[in-house]
Amino acid sequence: MDTIIAPGRIKYITGEKKEGCIFCADSLRDERLMLHKGKHCFVIMNKYPYTSGHLMVVPYRHIADIADASTEELMELMNLTGRAVDILRKAFNPEGFNVGMNLGKAAGAGVDEHMHMHVVPRWFGDTNFVTVLGEVRVIPEEIEKTRDLLKSFF
């Protein structure tokens, strides 16, 4: 049996779970993972990514549903999503992308009170036996290195 060591996860597992929105509260949002600040939305790396380069585009305004977003918020959300795809394509040369939102807990939203768009680069074989059988994700690069690379594109 192979052993996968992921020391970055221990802080999440054993750490204090603070109340509040991770996208709104300055004390909860990890500014080190912020890649771009727009007028209505920002781009941030997922702290616990599905694959290297997993980004999220998030409105500043605390809204749970896409139907509550303004036209300006939606326009910037989609423009930044397109920009994120373009940047990830240049930085990592993925073979595809998953782009989308999970609205509500039943749809799989981990943070259901604040809508956000996921941009996940994908490669053939990135979901292998480890994820399927072992329920473990293997991220091949330290998140700080990914951040530094992507920040240079923004």
Task: State which amino acid sits at residue 124.
Answer: F
Residue 34 has a pLDDT of: 92
Report the domain count for the chain.
1
CATH of the domain at 105: 3.30.428.10
Q: Would 73 be classed as within a structural domain? A: yes
- Percentage above 90 pLDDT, the chain: 51
The predicted-structure confidence for 84-142, as pLDDT tens digits, reads as follows: 999 999 999 999 999 999 999 998 888 899 999 999 999 887 764 444 434 556 666 77
| Catalytic residue status for 40 | no
31 falls within a domain = yes
Tell me, yes or no, whether 11 lies in a domain: no
Residue 62: give the domain boundaries.
Answer: 22-153
From the list 36, 40, 116, 118, the catalytic residue is 116
97 within a domain of the structure (yes/no): yes
Task: Tell me, yes or no, whether 17 lies in a domain.
Answer: no
Residue 16 resides in a domain: no
